[in-house]
Amino acid sequence: MDAYSNIIVQALEHSKNPVVKIDCFRTENGKTISSGSGSGFIFSSDGYIFTNSHVIQQAASIKVTLVDGRETEGVVTGKDPDSDLAVIKIYEHQLAVSMLGDSADLKIGQLVIAIGNPFGYQHTVTAGVISALGRSLRSTTGRMIDNIIQTDAALNPGNSGGPLVNMDSQVIGLNTATIQHAQGLCFSISINKAKDIATMLIRDGRVRKAFLGIRMQDVNLHPRVINYLHLENKRGIYITSVDAGSPAESAGLKEGDVIVNFGGNVVNGGDDLFRLLTHQRINSETAISLVRKNNSMLHLDVIPREA
């Protein structure tokens, strides 16, 4: 066997057993019907499994099939559609567990393996390289998912939720999406982000987020305004309305204001603001800078609440 094949086989030998097949079911007119299937992988010895939120989104019940053929019920621990991540739990013994790597150490061009169950074909393996790092991908809720890994390891429907593995048999990503009608454009959520989300899902059953209570749209800033106010921005966030009783109203934000900075961070659009409205901001006084209609700069303090 050639050296390349040998590397793939050895990496797969230590990473395939924790991968599971996930079948979802819903009840319709008194009948139980399939609502889709996907993949996942066991990341703790007490039965916690990573998968995608969109895999289990419509599920009333979940069946998990292990590598040894055992079938068991999966219970949703928590899911976060904004990051397309979910954790489910099974109650079984003698479970194979994935080794979780560090996605901060990844390099463009390094070899990776994707394992999953495309179209129901269990434990299908594809190989490729990391094509790019630090991509952003919009989730089904409209929020951006950051630090996405782009790979050319082929993914198909059913691969969602399966692991992306390096040559040390460590999971460095969670396969999540492809671009339809494109070849070699496949995306995985970094395992470092997934670990952070999993901690919150296991502890709280959800991901806590902060909110301001505004309706908004992205706008371009006039060059004269940028120069006059010495802004680092090219764009800003135009407030179209402020919810009554919201943190934004309490702080003095008004319709027509343009937000340009939040917590000391330049914000060029709604995606930038959403990234900053993490659980750490809840009930924490945060500086916000905005341009009012007369082109004056205002610096206010806002206390975001939990969404």
Q: What percent of the chain has pLDDT over 70?
A: 99
The answer to whether residues 273 and 253 touch, using CB atoms and an 8 Å cutoff, is: no
Tell me, yes or no, whether 159 lies in a domain.
yes
* Mean confidence (pLDDT) of the chain: 92
Tell me, yes or no, whether 30 lies in a domain.
no
Task: Give pLDDT, residue 14.
Answer: 86
Task: Give pLDDT, residue 181.
Answer: 66
- Going by pLDDT thresholds of 50, 70 and 90, the confidence category of residue 259 is very high
Q: For residues 44 and 49, give the distance between their C-alpha atoms in angstroms, rounded to a whole number.
A: 7
What would the mean pLDDT of 137-164 be, rounded to a whole number?
Answer: 89
The answer to whether residues 204 and 294 touch, using CB atoms and an 8 Å cutoff, is: no
Q: Which residues contact 307 (CB under 8 A, 6 or more apart)?
A: 208, 209, 210, 211, 277
- Going by pLDDT thresholds of 50, 70 and 90, the confidence category of residue 4 is confident
Does the structure show a pLDDT above 90 at 119?
no
pLDDT, tens digit (0-9, with 9 covering 90-100), for 156-182: 888 999 999 999 999 999 999 877 766
Q: For residues 13 and 9, give the distance between their C-alpha atoms in angstroms, rounded to a whole number.
A: 6
Tell me, yes or no, whether 103 lies in a domain.
yes
CATH number reported for the structural domain that contains residue 116 in this entry: 2.40.10.10
What would the mean pLDDT of 23-32 be, rounded to a whole number?
Answer: 90
Please check whether residues 302 and 215 belong to one and the same domain.
Answer: yes
Which residues participate in catalysis according to the annotation?
A: 54, 84, 160
Does the structure show a pLDDT above 90 at 271?
no
Pick the last residue of a domain from 167, 195, 223.
Answer: 195
Task: Give pLDDT, residue 182.
Answer: 66
pLDDT, tens digit (0-9, with 9 covering 90-100), for 212-222: 999 999 999 99
CA angle 288, 263, 240 (to 5 degrees): 40
Tell me, yes or no, whether 191 lies in a domain.
yes
Report residue 36 CA to chain centroid gap: 20
Please check whether residues 155 and 240 belong to one and the same domain.
Answer: no
Tell me, yes or no, whether 217 lies in a domain.
yes
Mean pLDDT check: name the lowest of 176-190, 239-253, 264-278: 176-190
Instruction: Name the residue range of residue 260's domain.
Output: 210-306
Q: What percent of the chain has pLDDT over 90?
A: 75
Q: For residues 194 and 209, give the distance between their C-alpha atoms in angstroms, rounded to a whole number.
A: 16
CATH number reported for the structural domain that contains residue 232 in this entry: 2.30.42.10
Pick the last residue of a domain from 195, 230, 254.
Answer: 195
Rg (CA), the chain: 22
How many domains are there within the chain?
2
pLDDT, tens digit (0-9, with 9 covering 90-100), for 245-258: 999 999 999 999 99
Tell me, yes or no, whether 77 lies in a domain.
no
Q: Token pair of 255, please? A: 């319709």
Residue 227 zone, left/alpha/beta (φ > 0; ψ -120 to 50; rest): alpha
Q: For residues 273 and 235, give the distance between their C-alpha atoms in angstroms, rounded to a whole number.
A: 12
Tell me, yes or no, whether 111 lies in a domain.
yes
